[in-house]
Amino acid sequence: MMAEAGDWKTLGLILGTYLAWAGVTVVGASLPVLAVVPAGLLIALHASLTHEAVHGHPFRRAGLNEALLFAPLSLAVPYRRFRDLHLAHHRDARLTDPYDDPESNYLDPQVWQRLPGGLRWVLRLNNTLAGRMLLGPLIGQIGFMCADWRRARAGDREVIAAWGLHLPGVALVLGWVWAVGMPVWAYGAAAYLGLAILRIRTFAEHRAHARSRARTVIIEDRGLLGFLFLNNNLHVVHHMHPRAPWYALPDLYRAGRARYQACNDGYVYRSYGALFRDHLWRAKDPVPHPLWSSGQGSSTKGE
């Protein structure tokens, strides 16, 4: 099946990313230390392309997109689990809900109060940008796998099937790494770096706010991170136009900049540099949801 008109850009970027990744892993056989950073950047880009696939690009047929992106270069998350959880996240009325938003970093305040002091310290550190990059991939993976293990033990067939497809993908990626001779430790470091880079994007994507339309950020960055995230830093634009491809987001934003900023109540950073300056070692948010009412359910439903 042909790619959608104009979406040859996405298909070409997918193929180019795989070719570049293959080349970097070959270089990593003899220069593993030097290969870690470029491999990590490509792993982050592949994750952003996976996000595009989940939203219907480059093909209209979901199965074709899954076939293109199912190989988990990051080794971490099954394609179908990311698909299901991310699409559930797009119920904007539930954004940041500790229970109903799968991508929320907030906890129910009552759950927070029951946590051991050491774990609360770790989670507070995880709410700084430095902590999110250093610890976030590990914390996120542990929490995700524990939740999926509970679902699998309860007989959730979709979770079991997703992991059943994921493991051959992991074997394919590691088989290539082994075949070209890149040390597994170097590839593991690259995968962790890729996940850490992605945590820069997700760190500020959403905030607690009484109005659902004001929970989603705009980061006006057109540099390397903006490219690696495929313009998803213009996150309110993506949430308002989830079917728009990555290359359309900047034009949509330029055409309606004032409207988007009014819509999200000015939740804007001029660049990722500004985000680093403000929150490298200072938490952006508390861990317990500041607007949560445990006795009555979520107070985050908003407009």
Longest dimension (CA), the chain: 59
List the Cα angle 282/134/269 in 5-degree steps.
45
pLDDT score of 2: 60
Does position 296 have pLDDT exceeding 50, yes or no?
Answer: no
CA distance 263 to 166: 38
Q: Pick from 107, 296, 300, 103: which is nearest to 208 by CA?
A: 300
Query: In sequence order, what are the beta bridge partners of 268?
Result: 218
Q: Which two tokens stand for residue 85?
A: 């959880």
Residue 246 · residue 199 · CB < 8 Å: no
Mean pLDDT of all residues in 133-148: 97
Give the count of beta carbons closer than 10 Å to the beta carbon of residue 218: 22
* CA pair distance 190, 38, nearest whole angstrom: 8
Structural element, H or E, at residue 269: strand 268-269
User: How much of the chain, in percent, has pLDDT values that exceed 70?
Assistant: 95
What Cα–Cα distance (Å) separates residue 75 from each residue in 70, 90, 169? 11, 24, 8
Indicate the average pLDDT of the chain: 95
Say what the pLDDT of residue 293 is.
78
- pLDDT bin (cut points 50, 70, 90) of residue 5 is low
Q: At 297, is the pLDDT very low, low, confident or very high (cuts 50, 70, 90)?
A: very low
Q: What pLDDT score was predicted for residue 295?
A: 42
pLDDT higher than threshold 50 for residue 300 = no
- Cβ atoms of 58 and 8 closer than 8 Å: yes
Residue pLDDT, tens place only, 260-290: 999 999 999 999 999 999 999 999 999 999 9
Distance between CA atoms of residues 105 and 85, nearest Å: 14
For range 173-187, the mean pLDDT: 98
User: What pLDDT, in 10s, does the model give residues 189-227?
Assistant: 999 999 999 999 999 999 999 999 999 999 999 999 999
